[in-house]
């Protein structure tokens, strides 16, 4: 005999997991966790003193740009082969020649930074390093602090009839260094001097040495070592200047000087 009370019970159905209502606290916890992970990753990629990207971020960015460069070069090679085949068949192609972008790594180092710490104390040195975070810097010219007083960037440059690669490098580096130098003039006027330092020893402004190298298939650490060597040539050459490392396939780089450009001589964007 069927129990009347059992007949009155509604049938039990199971909802799909996606339809099971979850408490707001659950969603709030997940959102907070995602925000915390994002914050942690940002901090891991940021230099805490200057607010610039750090060495880890630079390496990841360089890897992305190398992959982009190799992909573009491969695609252009396919296009070139296709155009060659079209020309052989007698078809009209027009003028399809264009300059491929080159990937360049640039590094700048503050000259005589030990003297800054000596004259203005390490606190003054920290304030000086913060000048490297140039307000309004172009995204494609964003520099990272990779250690000490060294700052670097990787950027694509394309040869043109108006501006050579050397001139483009000089413009980018000079724009960045001139901005920091101008900031150092005002900063050094007001920084307190270290004990035992008199006004005659007060520094007037910063100077910089820089290096540049083109990517030609090197590994990450090799790139950093070679661009650092180019910067060291600038240091040995009297500082406040730069050197380009011309990398030949399978050979050692050859170094040649490249000048800075005064603020007034930098062409408008």
Q: How far apart are CA 269 and CA 266, in angstroms?
A: 9
In a domain, 181, yes or no: yes
d(CA 74, CA 122): 49
Find out whether 177 and 239 touch, Cβ atoms under 8 Å.
no
Kindly report the backbone phi and psi dihedral angles of residue 107, in degrees, each rounded to the nearest multiple of 5, phi listed first.
Answer: -135, 135
181-202 tens-digit pLDDT: 999 999 999 999 999 999 999 9
Other CB atoms within 10 Å distance of the CB of residue 85: 10
Across the range 174-183, mean pLDDT stands at 94
Six token digits for residue 209: 């040495």
Which residues, listed in sequence order, are joined to residue 64 by a DSSP beta bridge? none
The confidence score (pLDDT) of residue 269 equals 46
Q: Per the domain annotation, does 27 fall within a domain?
A: no
Domain total of the chain: 1
Residue 129, in any domain of the structure: yes
Q: Is residue 54 part of a domain?
A: no
- Determine, yes or no, domain membership for 55: no
Domain assignment present for residue 193? The answer is: yes
In a domain, 67, yes or no: no
Burial class (CB in 10 A: 0-12, 13-18, 19+), 17: exposed
Q: What is the CATH number of the domain that holds 137?
A: 3.30.70.270
pLDDT number for residue 137: 76
The CA radius of gyration of the chain, in Å to the nearest whole number, is 28
Model pLDDT, residue 79: 80
Domain interval for residue 145: 102-265
- Rounded to two decimals, what is the model's pTM? 0.78
In this prediction, residue 1 carries a pLDDT of: 54
Residue 58 in any domain: the answer is no
């Amino acid at each position: 005999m069927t129990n009347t009370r059992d007949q009155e019970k509604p049938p039990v159905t199971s909802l799909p997991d996606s339809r099971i209502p979850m408490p707001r606290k659950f969603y709030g916890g997940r959102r907070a966790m995602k925000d915390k992970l994002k914050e942690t990753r940002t901090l891991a990629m940021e230099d805490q003193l200057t607010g610039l990207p750090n060495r880890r971020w630079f390496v990841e960015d360089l890897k992305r740009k190398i992959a982009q460069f190799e992909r573009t070069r491969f695609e252009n090679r396919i296009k070139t082969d296709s155009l060659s085949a079209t020309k052989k068949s007698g078809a009209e192609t027009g003028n399809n020649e264009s300059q491929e972008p080159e990937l360049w790594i640039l590094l700048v180092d503050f000259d005589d930074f030990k003297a800054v710490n000596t004259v203005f104390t390490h606190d003054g040195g920290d304030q000086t390093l913060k000048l490297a975070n140039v307000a309004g810097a172009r995204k494609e010219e964003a520099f990272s602090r990779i250690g000490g007083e060294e700052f670097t960037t990787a950027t694509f440059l394309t040869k043109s009839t108006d501006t050579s690669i050397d001139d483009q490098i000089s413009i980018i580096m000079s724009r960045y260094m001139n901005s920091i130098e101008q900031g150092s003039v005002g900063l050094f006027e007001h920084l307190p001097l270290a004990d035992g330092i008199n006004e005659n020893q007060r520094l007037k402004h910063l100077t910089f040495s820089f290096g540049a190298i083109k990517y030609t298939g090197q590994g990450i650490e090799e790139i950093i070592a070679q661009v650092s060597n180019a910067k060291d040539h600038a240091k040995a050459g009297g500082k406040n200047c730069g050197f380009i490392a011309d990398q030949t396939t399978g050979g050692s780089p050859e170094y040649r000087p490249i000048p800075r450009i005064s603020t007034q001589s930098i062409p408008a964007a």
